[in-house]
Amino acid sequence: MFIVNISPRTAGKTTNSGWLSKALYERGHRVKGFDADHSQQWIQWHEDAKAVEEKAEGEGKGVGFPFEIVSAATPRFHHQHSVPDNVIGVVDCGHSENHPEITDSLLRVADLALVHMSPTSSDFQRLTEPMEGTPLKDMITRSAPLRETTVAPPAWVLLNRVVHNAGSTRAYRNKLKDLGWNVLTTTIPRNEEFANSTLGPVYDADDTNFGALVTELERKGLIK
């Protein structure tokens, strides 16, 4: 299956793709990463993590993420990439505002679309009523006739960079639900550990909110 990580603009996708994929791996899933953003930042993270591990005394495994991550920023993703049934392909995407053709291609083969958003006015606006381009919900809907199933993939919003105890989390969860979005119960907190994690290896992801995210996705039957 493919989990595609999408948003109109910068929204924590690469950070969350890295941590979620590692939490899935730690939980025993077979994982393959796909970097579908021209920035190639997930692949850069992988390389940096390998270098850090190689230099580290004692550990020195130099594997970075313990699974393959391939470059895949192409509007022909749906032709070029597939995964076996027992593998979860985690796809980090670029801005759907700027590269809608890649997001459209990913949505043709997605088994789950994770929409990344901070509970802020500007993220909400760009997701739900952008002044330019096609709203992400419409992109998800328009994928249906192009898919083997002819049904749009399940799409769930993951609220991230959430401030502890801030009212914005509940407020934007409710606003999104009012507009018909599914919103995951699990949220990802705003903190330094995640903010500055893309220069090195990810350890013990299952012990963080990403472990709770895997549990929620499993319980909801969103991952196979």
Ligand X SMILES: Nc1ncnc2c1ncn2[C@@H]1O[C@H](COP(=O)(O)OP(=O)(O)OP(=O)(O)O)[C@@H](O)[C@H]1O
Residues that bind ligand X (CB under 6 A): 7, 10-15, 37, 39, 41, 94-95, 116, 160-161, 188, 190-191, 194-195
Residue closer to Mg ion, measured from CB, 6 or 110: 6
Partner whose binding site includes residue 161, from Mg ion, ligand X, none (CB under 5 to 8 Å by kind)? ligand X
Own/partner contacts of 82-88, CB < 8 Å, gap of 24 or more, are 82/109, 83/1, 83/2, 83/32, 85/1, 85/224, 86/30, 87/1, 87/30, 87/31, 87/32, 88/1, 88/2, 88/3, 88/21, 88/24, 88/29, 88/30, 88/31, 88/32, 88/223, 88/224
Partner whose binding site includes residue 209, from ligand X, Mg ion, none (CB under 5 to 8 Å by kind)? none
5: Cβ–Cβ under 8 A, 6 or more apart, which residues?
13, 16, 17, 20, 90, 91, 92, 93, 114, 116
Residue closer to ligand X, measured from CB, 8 or 89: 8
Site map (CB under 5 A) of Mg ion, residues 17-56, x = contact? ------------------------x---------------
Partner whose binding site includes residue 11, from ligand X, Mg ion, none (CB under 5 to 8 Å by kind)? ligand X
Partner whose binding site includes residue 46, from ligand X, Mg ion, none (CB under 5 to 8 Å by kind)? none
We find the least distance from the C-beta atom of residue 188 to ligand X, in angstroms, to be 5
Partner whose binding site includes residue 15, from ligand X, Mg ion, none (CB under 5 to 8 Å by kind)? ligand X
Partner whose binding site includes residue 117, from Mg ion, ligand X, none (CB under 5 to 8 Å by kind)? none
The residue range among 14-22, 81-89, 122-130, 143-151 that interacts with Mg ion, by the rule CB under 5 A, is 14-22
We find the least distance from the C-beta atom of residue 197 to Mg ion, in angstroms, to be 13
Q: Which of 14, 16, 103, 208 binds Mg ion (CB under 5 A)?
A: 14
# residues near Mg ion by CB under 5 A: 3
Residues binding Mg ion (CB under 5 A): 13-14, 41
